[in-house]
Amino acid sequence: MARTLAMFTDTSLCIGCRACQVACKQWNELGPEVPDWTGSYQNHTHFTDKTFRLVRFFEAPGAAPNGDLAWLLMSDVCKHCADAGCLNACPTGAIYRTEHGTVNINQDVCNGCRYCVSACPFGVVSFNEQTGTATKCTFCNDRIHNGLGPACAKACPTESIQFGFRDDLVVKAQKRVETLKGMGFKEAQLYGADSKGFLGGLNAFFLLLGKPETYGLPVNPKLPQKNIFVDSLLSIGSAVLVGVGALMAFRSRGDGKEG
């Protein structure tokens, strides 16, 4: 298997320009959307079937080295988890892992069941009503297989988004954390870089200047998809029991009338 490709997003370098968001839309031919009223400069609240890369804005008290209020910016994207909830939950095999470690959705095989939408702990996977299929970021699968790299990383003017081999990026990210701590950013940390951490590590990992929850990220993301099939079986079982109970009640009522 080829070396795992990954994306490292250094939020300390993000300027909120949305060049990545625009490049993603252009390359993937994603349609326009009416912006949400988010109460900030962020133009969408969540990922959608037309927004695979989302620039988020957070006002964080005490985030600056001197303790003042600061804007925390983050260009968010599918994490391409090593232990991917969407892939585990897919009943048709439409979601698969490529030889580069990325996670994609085969649009020709997806049946629109939406198990993956519920299974993603980051709320990344969306459902396209027009196609009847689930969609998400693919790291520009067509581009990386032609040596071009994802459109978002190419468009980023500050190199906040970096793409390459995962092991190389982790080393670079760790050095960057130490540099930022020396500059007074005491809470600088990596999110998802540890391959022995949650979800087996993220193939889109982040450098954060504060705690994960400040960025709207789960501290310890879980895999709810492990319960999906169990829940489905329980629901089916419950429905069968209700049906049997109703049938017995109907028959009992019928027997009473005959008496």
What are the pLDDT digits (tens) for 42-81? 888 899 999 999 999 998 876 777 778 888 999 999 999 9
pLDDT for 1: 57
In angstroms, the CA 18 to CA 8 distance is 17
Average pLDDT over residues 166-189: 96
CB 187 within 8 A of CB 180: no
Q: How far is CA 172 from CA 5, 7, 131, 178, in A?
A: 14, 12, 40, 10
With tokens 């895999």, the residue in question is 223
In angstroms, the CA 188 to CA 182 distance is 10
- Number of C-beta neighbours around residue 150 at 10 A: 27
pTM of the model: 0.83
Condensed to tens digits (0 to 9), the pLDDT of residues 25-50 reads 999 999 989 888 777 788 888 999 99
Average pLDDT over residues 113-121: 96
Examine the pLDDT at 235 and tell me if it is beyond 80: no
Q: How far is CA 33 from CA 44, 47, 181, 182, 222, in A?
A: 9, 12, 39, 41, 30
Average pLDDT over residues 110-126: 96
- Number of C-beta neighbours around residue 144 at 10 A: 17
DSSP 81-148: BSS-HHHHH-SSS-EEE-TTS-EEE-TTT-----HHHHH-TTS--EEETTTTEEE---S-HHHHTTT-
In angstroms, the CA 103 to CA 21 distance is 20
Kindly report the average pLDDT of the chain as a whole number: 88
CB 7 within 8 A of CB 159: no
Condensed to tens digits (0 to 9), the pLDDT of residues 134-151 reads 999 999 999 998 999 999
Q: How far is CA 85 from CA 24, 101, 119, 201, 226, in A?
A: 23, 14, 5, 13, 8
Residue type, 157: P
pLDDT for 232: 47
Residue of 87, 27, 82 lying closest to 52 (CA atoms)? 27
In this structure, what token pair is assigned to residue 130? 């027009």
pLDDT for 254: 56
